Amino acid sequence: MVKIVAIGGSLRPDSTSYKLLERSLQRVSALGAEAELLDLRQMNLPFCHGGQEYPDHPDVDRLRQTVASADGLILATPEYHGGVSGVLKNALDLMSFEQLSGKVVGLLSVLGGQSNSNSLNELRLIMRWVHAWVIPEQVAVGQAWQAFGEDGKLLDQKLSERLDQFAQSLVESAQRFQSNVSS
């Protein structure tokens, strides 16, 4: 069984990034993967200063250990000013190759306006730099403030199907990668 860890780049209480993450985690779980959400809203992470040690912030160790134990990651970000949120970028900066190298990664974004791929492309660059493997499928939800129903489900059926394909690709890729590494 593969383990997928999800990290969202928003601190909003009613975050659409986390709604999308929760939907994706339900789908990877339905495919037989172990799924875990690392909720940055519940963690006390410092700004990255480039050092290795953060003794006053045990959540840095928790972040690093949880990601290191994962076979795959789902990263979700709101797109702010055409790029990745500072919250997600800081969490990634607190980690290193030790935690991120060799991970299979799926990318999600939410936007207040029209859907585009700016933040997703930026995350692809970051993940490539740390030697992670990003799946080709990605999901960008434009006008995210109206994309979810009261129950948290996506209202657009085609978008929901794309999220299914995303989850399938992530789990299958993580399984293939895991079996290649262990053989």
Q: Does residue 183 register a pLDDT over 60?
A: no
Helix axes 118-129, 86-93, angle to 10 degrees: 10
CA 84 – CA 136 distance, rounded (Å) = 18
The token pair at 57 is 């912030």
In tens, the pLDDT along 53-106 reads 999 999 999 999 999 999 999 999 999 999 999 999 999 999 999 999 999 999
Q: Does residue 141 register a pLDDT over 60?
A: yes
Q: Using alpha carbons, select from 135, 137, 134 the residue that is nearest to residue 125.
A: 134
Which pLDDT score, from 0 to 100, does residue 182 have? 64
Which domains, and CATH codes, for the chain? Answer: 3-182 (3.40.50.360)
